[in-house]
């Protein structure tokens, strides 16, 4: 005798794990891309010092070493990413699935599971590419040397004129384990309070440490001085269309125009470490 058990669909959906943004708060807002797809940033040339000549009475050359015109350079930064999505929730499907696909919840899931991870990974890749110091062919990171390597990286930045403070170490989950059990574990300072930024586990040598998924980085770790890059978001739009000429149901749309640029004048504020 066969026994046919009942299968009943529940009027709810299960969500996937997702990581909140780990790149917020490190970018400069000194320039705006509003009304344009590109901006031109000028940099004034450095001025060199000459020997002051106390005996020179030539009015043309002057005692200060002679007059030269102050030069400049510029860099254009053009936004390249223009992304979008469009999905439908058919009215018939909605009724026969107990309305489990709620439009507002779906948009939130798209934000958490797609937009934020995509933008974070893109930003970190742009920072790696634009890094002013790339330490390559370095020693493999271990719990015995990882603290020293991070502090050495910050010392390199300091020797390049990058001021202390406002630095963030981005490190993947796997290498973060080595840091947490490092021989010099005392160097990892506890945050001391509930972190206001996602991924923060503490500080090392004054640098905030943010742990990110391994897939977000192609380098072993990266130190970023806040304000040496820009991350414009021109359009961040998502909407619900309750009526659509081609669909009997609800249509969800979204569009995102964004990018990330390293300020070439301040690229020494980014250090990457590769084995």
List pLDDT tens digits, range 99-148. 888 999 999 999 999 999 999 999 999 999 999 999 999 999 999 999 99
Helix axes 173-180, 146-159, angle to 10 degrees: 100
Establish if 200 belongs to a structural domain: yes
Total domains in the chain come to: 1
Specify the pTM: 0.86
- Residue at 257 is within a domain: yes
Q: Does a structural domain hold residue 113?
A: yes
Give a yes or no: residue 37 inside a domain: no
Asked if the structure places residue 179 within a domain, the reply is yes
Query: Is residue 15 in a domain?
Result: no
DSSP letter for each residue of 223-264: EEETTSEE--EEEEEEEEES-BTTBSEEEEEEEEEE--EE-G
**Residue 231 sits in which domain range?**
82-273
Q: Which residues in the chain come in under a pLDDT of 70?
A: 1, 3-18, 56-61, 183-199
Q: In a 10 Å sphere around its CB, with 0-12 CB exposed, 13-18 middle and 19+ buried, how is residue 111 labelled? A: middle
Structural domain includes residue 147: yes
Query: What spatial distance separates the first Cα and last Cα of the chain, rounded to whole Å?
Result: 66
The pLDDT score that the predictor gives to residue 97 is 86
74 part of a folded domain: no
SS3 188: strand
What is the CA 37 to chain-centroid distance, rounded? 20
């Amino acid at each position: 005798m066969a026994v046919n058990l009942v299968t009943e669909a529940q009027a709810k959906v299960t969500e996937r794990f997702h990581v909140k943004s780990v790149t917020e708060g490190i970018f400069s807002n000194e320039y705006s891309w509003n009304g344009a797809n590109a901006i031109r940033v000028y940099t004034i040339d450095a001025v060199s010092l000459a020997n002051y000549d106390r005996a020179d009475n030539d009015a043309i050359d002057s005692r200060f070493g002679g007059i030269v015109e102050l030069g400049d350079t510029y860099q254009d930064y053009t936004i390249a990413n223009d992304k979008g999505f469009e999905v439908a929730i058919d009215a018939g499907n909605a009724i026969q699935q107990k309305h489990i696909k709620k439009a507002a919840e779906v948009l939130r899931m798209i934000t958490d599971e797609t937009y934020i991870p995509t933008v974070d990974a893109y930003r970190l890749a742009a920072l790696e590419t634009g890094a002013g110091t790339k330490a390559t062919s370095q020693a493999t990171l271990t719990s015995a040397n990882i603290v020293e390597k991070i502090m050495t990286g910050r010392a390199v930045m300091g020797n390049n004129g990058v001021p202390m403070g406002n630095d963030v170490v981005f490190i993947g989950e796997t290498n973060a384990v080595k840091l947490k059990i490092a021989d010099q574990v005392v160097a990892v300072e506890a945050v001391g309070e509930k972190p206001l930024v996602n991924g923060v586990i503490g500080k090392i040598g004054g640098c905030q440490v943010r742990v990110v998924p391994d897939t977000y980085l192609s380098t072993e770790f990266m130190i970023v001085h806040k304000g040496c890059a820009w991350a414009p978001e021109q359009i961040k739009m998502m909407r619900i269309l309750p009526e659509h000429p081609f669909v009997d149901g609800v249509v969800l749309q979204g569009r995102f125009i964004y990018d990330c640029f390293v300020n070439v004048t301040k690229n020494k504020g980014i250090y990457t470490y590769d084995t």
